[in-house]
Structure 1
């Protein structure tokens, strides 16, 4: 089956290369299109057999399953281009959280799903967030589940929880990387430890932490209890973090939700203006 990817930017490329790495898709199974054709051409060069479509319309005509790996503001133009060639037996998957399934189902007659990936899929890990549309059959859902199971642990969520689930699964790698960077930088500033040593220490710690939580039988709570003995240095540090850092995450979630609500309104205004199919 040909799987088409409209958009080969950061996340589109990540998904394509993850599916190839996992052995689930061969390059010859993939048809890609991108506004900047050089990006799609580079993918084809790096993965011989991968084909580059001349247009989004050609891709939609030739792909039983189509992934829309594009920014919210690009949806109107792409849907305008492909809506007349998309068929009811095709599957259209959006990886963009502010684009609502009901709006996509008004634009195209295909079976629609929303699946939000994460950068962690680059190492065949993490969750992908699965929101099935109303037209997907059980067989369609099984196919998509099987596809994403090779690069992630799929998790079915309600569309109303897309934003918070995306914060935790997709945005958090950047958030936590920023915190680790700040921790290493503070260590350098306060103690003059060599920067390369500080970065190595926090990076290797994060690697081990992930394994402890996924393979070592620890939970977030039990790991803290195991490391932090009463009256010890770690417990003092945790008390400070609870006091000063905890509230930051409440503010962070409020911020991401406010931006999400703004994006949803902009996308719906764009998609709901003009003729649909």
Structure 2
């Protein structure tokens, strides 16, 4: 089955690389394009069997499953441009959260799925968030789930939790990378440790933490209990975090939801909803 990818920016490229390196897709099964064609050609430099074409129209003509990896406000104009090329045999997969499968189904005749990936998928880890349209066949649904199971843990979600699920699974790596960088910077600023050593120790720590959780050796609460000895040093640090972090993530989610609602309103105007 031929798989098309329209848009080879950050997330489009991550999906392409993950699919190929996990063995989920063969190079000769992929047909890709990008508005700036050089980005697609750069991928072909590494994966020579991938087919690069000059236009989105050609991708839709040659592929059965088509990933749209473009910005939310670029999707409706693109769908209008491609309106005469979609057929019932196609499966359109959008990776953008503000656009619902219902909105997509209203403007294309094909099967529709929304999949929200994460940068962690590049390491064949983390979650992908899946919402299927009403026209999506069981065969298509099973194929897509199998495809993403190679690089992630697929999780089916409803529209009402799309934003918070995306905040956790997709935005979470950026949020916690920022916290870890602040953790490293503070260590360097306050002590004689070098940035290189602090970074190495922090990296090993977070990987180790992930392994403990992966193997179900501890839960998050029990991890704190095991490390945080009563009256000990870790407890003093936790006390500071409890004081200073109060309400931080609530505000983070308030802001992401506020932006999400704004994006939804802009999209609704495009789709005439």
1:201 offset after TM fit, Å?
Answer: 1.2
Write the mapping of 1:76-155 to structure 2, written as runs, cut at 5 A: 76-155=76-155
- Give the whole-Å Cα distance in 2 for the aligned partners of 1:222 and 1:94: 38
- Give the whole-Å Cα distance in 2 for the aligned partners of 1:263 and 1:217: 40
Provide the residue aligned with 2:271 in structure 1.
271
- Give the whole-Å Cα distance in 2 for the aligned partners of 1:123 and 1:93: 21
| Structure 2 unmatched ranges of 5 or more | none
- Give the whole-Å Cα distance in 2 for the aligned partners of 1:37 and 1:7: 9
- Give the whole-Å Cα distance in 2 for the aligned partners of 1:104 and 1:141: 16
Asked if residue 212 in structure 1 is aligned to residue 204 in structure 2, the reply is: no
Provide the residue aligned with 1:242 in structure 2.
242
Q: Quick check: 1:56–1:81 contact (8 Å CA) kept in 2?
A: no
1:267 offset after TM fit, Å?
Answer: 1.4
Corresponding residue pairs, total: 273
Structure 1 stretch displaced more, 62-71 or 241-250:
241-250
Q: Give SS of 2:248's match.
A: helix
Provide the residue aligned with 2:50 in structure 1.
50
- Give the whole-Å Cα distance in 2 for the aligned partners of 1:117 and 1:232: 40
Provide, for residues 19-64 of structure 1, a one-character-per-residue CA deviation record: whole Å limited to 9, x for no partner. 0010110111000010000001111121011001221111111111
**Runs of 4+ deviating beyond 3 Å:** none
Structure 1 stretch displaced more, 173-182 or 193-202:
193-202
Provide, for residues 65-122 of structure 1, a one-character-per-residue CA deviation record: whole Å limited to 9, x for no partner. 0101110121122111212110112110100001111111111011101100000011
1:194 offset after TM fit, Å?
Answer: 1.0
Provide, for residues 176-201 of structure 1, a one-character-per-residue CA deviation record: whole Å limited to 9, x for no partner. 01101001101111113111111111
TM-score (norm 1): 0.96
- Give the whole-Å Cα distance in 1 for the aligned partners of 2:193 and 2:64: 55
Q: Quick check: 1:228–1:235 contact (8 Å CA) kept in 2?
A: yes
Q: Quick check: 1:126–1:152 contact (8 Å CA) kept in 2?
A: yes
- Give the whole-Å Cα distance in 2 for the aligned partners of 1:64 and 1:165: 28
Q: Give SS of 2:106's match.
A: helix
- Give the whole-Å Cα distance in 1 for the aligned partners of 2:85 and 2:10: 27
Provide the residue aligned with 1:164 in structure 2.
164
Provide the residue aligned with 1:229 in structure 2.
229
1:271 offset after TM fit, Å?
Answer: 2.4
Q: Give SS of 1:246's match.
A: coil
Provide, for residues 189-238 of structure 1, a one-character-per-residue CA deviation record: whole Å limited to 9, x for no partner. 11131111111111111111111111252111111111111111112211
TM-score (norm 2): 0.97
- Give the whole-Å Cα distance in 1 for the aligned partners of 2:86 and 2:217: 47
Asked if residue 23 in structure 1 is aligned to residue 23 in structure 2, the reply is: yes
1:155 offset after TM fit, Å?
Answer: 0.5
Give me the CA root mean square deviation. Answer: 1.1
Q: Give SS of 2:115's match.
A: strand
- Give the whole-Å Cα distance in 2 for the aligned partners of 1:167 and 1:231: 35
